[in-house]
Amino acid sequence: MAKPSNLGSITKIVDPQELYRVITQASSQNPAEVHASSKRVEELLDYFGTFDGLHEIAATRSVPLPVRKQSIIQFKNKALNHWRSRKLLSDEQRVRIRSRCLTFIDEEDDTIAECNEVIVAKIARQDYPVNWPLLLADIMDVIRTNLEVLCGSPNNDPRSTLALRRGLALLNSVLKEFSGVKLLAGVNTMVNIINQLHEVMFDYYSKLSSMISALVPLALSDQRTADNLIVAHFMYKCLVKMALWLWPRLFHPQGGFAKLEPWFLQLFQSSTGQLKILFELRTNLVITLRASGASDRLTLLSIDRLTRHVRVFGKFFRRLQQLKPDKFVQLPTGNEIVFYYWDRVVQATNGPPELIQDAPTAVFPVRFLLQAMVLFKENLSRWTPFRKGGPKTETTLSQEFVEDAVRLLVTRFIPLNLADLQGWMSDPEEWVNLEDKENDQWEYELRPCGERVLMTLSSQYKVYVTPLLETTFKQIIAQPTVDSASVIQKEALYCAIGRCATHLREVIPFSQWLQHNLLAEARETNQYYPIIKRRIAWLIGKWISDMCSPANDPNVWDILTHLLQDRGPGTDSVVRLTAATALQECVDTLDFDIDVFVPYLPTAVTELVKLMGETDTIEAKQRLAKSLNVVIQRAGTRITPHAQMISEGIPQLWTAAGEEWLFKIQLLVVVTSLVSAMKEQTSLNGLIVPLVQDGLSPGVAVNLDEDALNLWLAAVRNSSSLGYAGGPGLIDLVPLAVSLLSDNLDLLGKIVSIIESCLFVDAPAVLQSFAQPLMNAFVKALTGQAIMTNQKDILICLQFLTQLAPATLWGQAMHFAGLVSHIVNLLNHDESSPNLLTECIYLLARIALADRQMFLQLVSATAETMDLPEAKIWEAVLDHWWRQFDHMSEPRHRKLAALGIASLVSTGRPEVLDRLPNEIFNLWTDVFFEVKESRSLAENEDASPLTLHWDLDQVPQSYYADSESTVEFDRRKTFLDNDPVRTMQLTSYVAAALQEAERACGGIHIFNQYISKTDPTLLKQLQNELQGE
Helices (H), 293-362: 297-323, 325-328, 334-350
Least Cα distance to 562 among 522, 610, 521 occurs for 522
AA letter at 632: I
Distance CA 765, CA 730 (A): 11
Least Cα distance to 613 among 576, 579, 584 occurs for 576
Distance CA 992, CA 635 (A): 54
Contacts of 211 (CB under 8 A, 6+ apart): 151, 228
**Greatest distance between any 2 Cα atoms in the chain:** 126
AA letter at 729: G
Distance CA 375, CA 630 (A): 38
Distance CA 939, CA 952 (A): 13
Asked if 498 and 538 touch (Cβ cutoff 8 Å), the reply is: yes
Angle formed at CA 63 by CA 57 and CA 69, multiple of 5 degrees: 65
AA letter at 521: E
For residue 13, what are the β-bridge partners? 48
Angle formed at CA 958 by CA 955 and CA 963, multiple of 5 degrees: 105
Distance CA 885, CA 914 (A): 18
- CA quadruple 582, 587, 590, 592: dihedral positive or negative? positive
Least Cα distance to 236 among 139, 310, 341 occurs for 310
**Chain-centroid distance, C-alpha 725:** 42
- The per-residue b/e assignment along 805-832, b for 16 or more CB within 10 angstroms, e otherwise, is bebebbbbbbbebbbbbbbbebbeeeee
Helices 819-828 and 748-783 pack at an angle, to 10 degrees, of 70
Distance CA 712, CA 686 (A): 13
pTM for the whole structure? 0.84
Distance CA 437, CA 462 (A): 27
Least Cα distance to 55 among 66, 68, 64 occurs for 68
What are residue 357's phi and psi, to 5 degrees? Answer: -145, 155
For the chain, the straight-line distance linking the first and the last C-alpha, in angstroms and rounded, comes to 97
For residue 48, what are the β-bridge partners? 13
Neighbours of 684 (CB within 10 A): 24
Over the chain (1029 residues), what is each successive 10-residue block's mean pLDDT? Answer: 49 89 90 86 91 95 94 94 92 95 94 96 95 95 93 83 95 95 90 94 93 87 92 96 94 81 95 96 92 86 95 96 91 92 95 90 95 94 67 74 94 90 91 79 88 93 93 87 90 94 92 92 92 95 90 93 94 95 94 93 95 92 95 93 91 93 95 90 83 94 94 93 74 93 89 95 93 95 90 94 95 94 89 90 94 94 92 92 88 91 91 88 86 50 48 71 88 90 88 89 82 82 75
Asked if 72 and 54 touch (Cβ cutoff 8 Å), the reply is: yes
Distance CA 884, CA 900 (A): 13
Distance CA 431, CA 420 (A): 8
Contacts of 344 (CB under 8 A, 6+ apart): 279, 364, 368, 369, 372
pLDDT score recorded for residue 135:
95
Cis peptide before 129 (omega within 30 of 0): yes
Distance CA 495, CA 540 (A): 11
- CA quadruple 239, 241, 244, 247: dihedral positive or negative? negative
Least Cα distance to 966 among 635, 640, 720 occurs for 720
Asked if 905 and 920 touch (Cβ cutoff 8 Å), the reply is: yes
Neighbours of 680 (CB within 10 A): 11
Least Cα distance to 589 among 545, 533, 623 occurs for 545
Contacts of 459 (CB under 8 A, 6+ apart): 381, 503
What are residue 364's phi and psi, to 5 degrees? Answer: -125, 90
Asked if 554 and 514 touch (Cβ cutoff 8 Å), the reply is: no
The DSSP code sequence of 356-414 is: EESSTTSSEEHHHHHHHHHHHHHHHHHH-TT--SSPPPS----HHHHHHHHHHIIIIIS
Strand ranges in 758-886 using DSSP code E only, listed in sequence order: none
- The per-residue b/e assignment along 462-499, b for 16 or more CB within 10 angstroms, e otherwise, is bebbbebbeebbeebbeeebeeeeebbbbbbbbbbbbb
Helices (H) and strands (E) in the chain, counts: 52, 2
Distance CA 396, CA 952 (A): 64
Distance CA 53, CA 74 (A): 11
Distance CA 684, CA 674 (A): 9
